Structure 1
């Protein structure tokens, strides 16, 4: 255990300003480097975790986690849904009709991915009701010529709620496309890229436009584990006839997820290097303190201090500087992570800009989620680096001979 005087001397060396100006400057510089490195790393990892959360909860809360399709149409969806629910990892299933089409208003045209949904069952597999006013899906089911469009689609067409637009559905072969006049029931705003191409209709209306009245395109699944979705689809496909095929979110949005995690790992590695560089500045600080305090070290040695105790004094000093820098960086990082989303939104409102465009990024705002495990990794890594880089200066201090140090005092 550290004796009391070792701790007191090491602490005094660590927080004292009675060094040369150069030593004090480098000491502050190494501490500031640790603060900035730890704070920025916590902030960036929180932002990346925010993107990951938004992908899982918002994008995959609206788009299917997994889906089973038929090459033409499914005639008896109730029987298929009952069969799919028997899989132990399937929590819920709901029918849908999927179409590709165009929306036209005046001289503007926007391509859309249309989903015909069952208002009575959609809430079991989707978070759509959370993004719409209460009762909207029920109004959609009862209105034959109604449609819900994403905010991006509404901006492209320059339409608002209650405006009338034309829906164009292409038909295979040389037949003329189907055209239906619909009115905008609501504008969907999920703050994600799906707002740029998503449209919702009543399932019966969409089935009429698909050419298979009373039938559906597929069944949407909600699974207990997102990452097990591909395996769940494979398991189900082994029990269904050859006309069926399946898909999971890994095929539609897996690239975004991989990009987020790759960016998180790359940025994390770069910022860990910043922490390492700041910690190695600590080596310079401690070596200069050793040179500055040679006389003090020699006196301690003549008073009976062992080499181990001299090493311990400078290890305490290095650990204290690392602890102070890491602690302040921890507070700074958590504070920035907590306020970064409203702060960026405030700046966007003041200057009338939008940093994240939905046609480039998967979401339209800067999210943040503080994960305790990531914060703990950053803090522990910074403290360990600070500890290990203190070993060499402490060893150098322990090798100072009293006679050589005091010869010219």
Structure 2
């Protein structure tokens, strides 16, 4: 099957050596500009996806995907609820806990903390705390012995280590003739964890669930039942399924609600970066306008001959649209290849640049993430590539319409 003459002429004009070399230079620079814009946008979006995924994993590594509790914050008969939800689709683990605010002291040092009462043998079903222990073991927590596990920064600020004593002051006080007296209990430090998140390492302390029930006056109840799913993005579906199993007085809270502001800020930053870097592609694409306008001026004689041979204005228009699209397509293709090459090899490229320049972009003693993460989302890749191609198409419309309006007699007058 023979290709349409518009396609053949459009491709020939792209390959042919023009009399005006400056036009060829602008065409090449436009193609390179589109390629650089697509490369930069794919790479930056992949890095931001990597940061978002890394931070999400670190946050959810210390907490569950969903929490079931009653409106007063006390969950009664959690064992029967555990039996109901553990067999639901996508639920792979469940564990009770108590989370309360308190004060902790060691000598003259005082700090506000978040105390989490857990069952060490079940906590592994919903969180990865055991893997983050740097001193001691999570299994060292025994009910009734009043033992405590501290975050690394919290232990450092208090100046305590394994075997030291700390005092926990709970706001749930007892009434006495002199007023309300806070509940005070001495704990022995049996472990230190490093979650890699300042929020947890500087303010979280873990104790046994039995000790938490006594300290915070929970009796036989717990604060909530935490659930872990096989896919953290299925919380909406599981929440809908829970409505048919649990009673109406139970409150369901998911990870997106607990950290909504944080993840919204990251998503907003990603969108802003997309818009800013898309301007690079836009500038390069609209350089094609000037290129194609000069091509139309340079080819007026050819256009006139084609019109006299019977070519329609629509055919002339498509010749120059094809020529512009070839530039945009090649630029988007080169940018796609470059962006994916950088995104998939960022873990090799960044250390090489650091070694070459003798600097470290993310020092481990300052940043929790010491390496630049990267995660390629194919939806982002195709969005960027299609955007570049569409901008190129828009940029070719004006020059192509101008070419279609060339009058043969006027163009041949000075030939």
Q: 1:16 to 1:192 in 2, by over 3 A?
A: farther
Per-residue deviation, 1:358: 9.2
Structure 2 gap segments, 5+ residues each: 174-179
Q: 1:29 to 1:144 in 2, by over 3 A?
A: farther
1:30-62 CA deviation, whole Å, 9 max, x = no partner? Answer: 223312322222223323433443455432342
Q: 1:171 to 1:391 in 2, by over 3 A?
A: closer
Pick from 222, 235, 242 the counterpart of residue 226 of structure 1.
235
Q: Does 1:281 align with 2:287?
A: yes
Per-residue deviation, 1:296: 3.6
TM-score, structure 2 normalization: 0.79
1:121 corresponding residue in structure 2: 122
Kindly report which structure 2 residues correspond to 1:6-85, keeping only aligned pairs within 5 A, or say none: 6-16=6-16, 18=18, 20-54=20-54, 56-69=56-69, 71=72, 73-74=74-75, 76-85=77-86
1:318 corresponding residue in structure 2: 324
Q: Does 1:351 align with 2:352?
A: no
Work out whether residues 149 and 188 of structure 1, in 8 Å CA contact, stay in contact via their aligned partners in 2.
no
Q: 1:46 to 1:237 in 2, by over 3 A?
A: same
Instruction: Please state whether the residue corresponding to 2:121 is helix, strand or coil.
Output: coil
Q: 1:143 to 1:326 in 2, by over 3 A?
A: farther
Instruction: Please state whether the residue corresponding to 1:62 is helix, strand or coil.
Output: coil
Work out whether residues 229 and 248 of structure 1, in 8 Å CA contact, stay in contact via their aligned partners in 2.
no
The CA RMSD over aligned residues, in Å, is 4.0
2-side partners of 1:146 and 1:336: how far apart? Answer: 48
Instruction: Please state whether the residue corresponding to 1:49 is helix, strand or coil.
Output: helix
Per-residue deviation, 1:382: 1.7
Q: Does 1:206 align with 2:212?
A: yes
Work out whether residues 237 and 245 of structure 1, in 8 Å CA contact, stay in contact via their aligned partners in 2.
no
Q: 1:135 to 1:156 in 2, by over 3 A?
A: closer
Kindly report which structure 2 residues correspond to 1:353-372, keeping only aligned pairs within 5 A, or say none: 354=362, 366-372=372-378
Structure 1 gap segments, 5+ residues each: none
Kindly report which structure 2 residues correspond to 1:3-402, keeping only aligned pairs within 5 A, or say none: 3=3, 6-16=6-16, 18=18, 20-54=20-54, 56-69=56-69, 71=72, 73-74=74-75, 76-85=77-86, 90-104=91-105, 108-132=109-133, 136-140=137-141, 144=145, 146-154=147-155, 156-157=157-158, 162=162, 164=164, 166-173=166-173, 174-183=180-189, 185-191=191-197, 193-212=199-218, 215-223=221-229, 225-228=234-237, 238-240=247-249, 245-301=251-307, 305-340=311-346, 351=359, 354=362, 366-402=372-408
2-side partners of 1:364 and 1:84: how far apart? Answer: 39
2-side partners of 1:205 and 1:178: how far apart? Answer: 12
Q: 1:45 to 1:155 in 2, by over 3 A?
A: farther
1-side partners of 2:407 and 2:333: how far apart? Answer: 36
2-side partners of 1:231 and 1:347: how far apart? Answer: 49
2:176 corresponding residue in structure 1: none
Per-residue deviation, 1:217: 2.6
Q: 1:327 to 1:352 in 2, by over 3 A?
A: closer
Instruction: Please state whether the residue corresponding to 2:181 is helix, strand or coil.
Output: coil
TM-score, structure 1 normalization: 0.80
2-side partners of 1:344 and 1:118: how far apart? Answer: 42
2-side partners of 1:339 and 1:66: how far apart? Answer: 35
1:214-262 CA deviation, whole Å, 9 max, x = no partner? Answer: 653321123562245766777777444xxx6553323321122222223
Work out whether residues 95 and 123 of structure 2, in 8 Å CA contact, stay in contact via their aligned partners in 1.
yes
